[in-house]
Amino acid sequence: MVRCLMPEAYDLYEHLRRQAIGGADVPTRDAQAARPAADQVDPAALARYTIEEWARASRATVRERKLLAEVSAAAEREARLTAGVAAATADRDRLAAQLATTAGEHQRLARTLEHGEREMDWLVHERQQLNAESERLALALAEATSGPLHRLAGWFQGRSSTGRAA
């Protein structure tokens, strides 16, 4: 299309291309003669070619817009996921702190329970000793009071029988 519409530009392009690959640096007359003249180009073929190129470019533009929309949507999803990860991390950290506090409270309560159990064992032992002491004292009291009470009861019986007789 460039060769047909702008032959001088095409000649310059060819000249530069040949220089770049080490070829001749001046365009030859044969190359100029081999170039089709602008009036030799089929307008219908040129129109078809131009429309095809325009259609390809349009499809590429549509694809580019779709891809940009997908990239934008992916960026939004990434931002939402990043925010979700940050929130989940904050929740995890908060729960870890609560767990540490709860573990500390658990240890404190376990020590308190252990101390309470030791105190209860001591109190049960003390109660057993007090019960044994109480039983011993009750027996000692029973023994100590049975002799004099017997005599006192006998004395009262003796007085009551004399008092009736009198």
Greater confidence (31 vs 136) lies with 136
**pLDDT score of 136 more than 60:** yes
What was the pLDDT predicted at 119?
Answer: 96
28 inside domain:
yes
Q: What pLDDT score does 1 carry?
A: 67
Residue 150 lies in a domain: no
Domain assignment present for 55: no
In a domain, 157, yes or no: no
More reliable by pLDDT, 20 or 3: 20
- pTM recorded for the entire structure: 0.42
Q: Is residue 108 part of a domain?
A: yes
Residue 95 inside a domain? The answer is no
Q: Computed over its alpha carbons, how large is the radius of gyration of the chain?
A: 59
137-160 mean pLDDT: 75
| Least confidently predicted of 47-61, 65-79, 97-111 | 47-61
Domain containing 1 equals 1-41
Total domain count for the chain? 2
Is residue 109 domain-resident?
yes
In a domain, 83, yes or no: no
Provide DSSP, the chain: -HHHH-HHHHHHHHHHHHHHTT--SS--HHHHHHSPPGGGS-HHHHHHHHHHHHHHHHHHHHHHHHHHHHHHHHHHHHHHHHHHHHHHHHHHHHHHHHHHHHHHHHHHHHHHHHHHHHHHHHHHHHHHHHHHHHHHHHHHHHHHHHHHHHHHHHHHHHHHHHHHH-
Burial-class residue 147 by CB neighbours within 10 Å (0-12, 13-18, 19+).
exposed
- Where is average pLDDT lowest: 31-35, 105-109, 116-120, 140-144? 31-35
Which has the minimum average pLDDT: 75-84, 90-99, 134-143, 154-163? 154-163
